[in-house]
Amino acid sequence: MKEKRNQLLLITTFVLTQIVAVLFTQNFIISQIPVEQYAPFGNENVAQASANSGILVIYVALFTIFLIFILKYRLRVVFKFIVIILPLIFLFGFTDWQLMVLLNRYSGTDLFTLSTSITLLFILAIVYGLYNKNYLIVTSSVLLLTTEIASYLALSLSPPTLYILPLAFALYDIYAVFRGPLKKLIKIQPKKTLQEKFIYSDLGLIITRIGGFTIGTGDFVFYSLLVASGFIQKSFLGAAIVGIAINLGVLLTLYILEKYNKPLPGLPIPIFLAVGILLLLPYV
């Protein structure tokens, strides 16, 4: 019974973050503020989209290897900077951006100072939550950051990169968990040691714990990104269809995880289902 409640809480959290990402995306679409498209190698064919996606996968792989090095040698100051300071900087930038667009949308005037001041107070509240290990504040800030990043990516990606990028990260997730950096990270953790406590109780703003599950920000980002992309293609109907596909994929992943009780990548099944639905949306 407890396991089912935990799964329900996790799915509910995913759905809420997806809804917020859609609302953030709608906010920008209505404001008609242009967002620069991500296409460093062009975006006219699958080869260019693969190059666009591949460079990001390489960046993430290098970052993961670097993080493993830091964890292995307990470079605590550097670790704190990566898992707390950097996410706070991103959170400040994205939140200020969203708030400024929202205020300008309803007031018609530039309220840069007001939006920045409100965002700064919000960041200070998060710092307070981190310092006092307030679960609600820290978790809420992680989820907010993931929805803001997802909204931005949904606006800055277009087909075919929009389809290739999530698939590339889903494949990388499989490799990382079973053969690559994440498997190595699991292996270097001696159970019930100070190092384990250091790693899993102090991961700042790069993971969150929902219903007993430890979820990386990447899972939230990609799930919400695809739902927001469904909204861009077919409004709320598209978002709902993609959201159903993703969350069914999450449930299937949880079922497999419960049955075999082994480390399992969270991206592949939901991503493959959602991208398939996105490809079909133009015909709906």
- In order along its 284 residues, the chain shows pLDDT tens digits of 677 788 888 999 999 999 999 999 998 888 888 889 999 999 999 999 999 999 999 998 888 888 888 877 878 788 778 878 888 888 888 888 888 887 776 665 567 777 888 888 888 888 888 778 787 888 888 898 899 999 999 999 999 999 999 999 999 999 888 876 655 555 544 444 434 433 434 555 677 778 777 788 889 999 999 999 999 999 999 999 999 999 999 999 999 988 887 778 889 999 999 999 999 998 87
Cβ count near 228 (within 10 Å): 32
How many CA within 13 A on the CB side of residue 179?
4
How confident is the model at residue 17, as a pLDDT?
A: 96
How confident is the model at residue 34, as a pLDDT?
A: 83
Report how far residue 195's alpha carbon sits from residue 191's, in angstroms, rounded to the nearest whole number: 9
- For residue 216, give the DSSP letter: E
The SS3 of residue 180 is coil
Residues 141 and 90: beta-carbon distance below 8 Å: no
Q: Who's near 226: CB < 8 A, 6+ residues apart?
A: 166, 242, 246, 271, 274, 275, 278
Cβ count near 133 (within 10 Å): 10
Q: Residue 22 corresponds to which tokens in the numbers above?
A: 């859609």
Maximum distance among all Cα pairs of the chain, rounded to whole angstroms = 57
Residues 98 and 111: beta-carbon distance below 8 Å: no
What pTM did the predictor assign?
A: 0.87
Q: Who's near 167: CB < 8 A, 6+ residues apart?
A: 53, 271, 272, 275
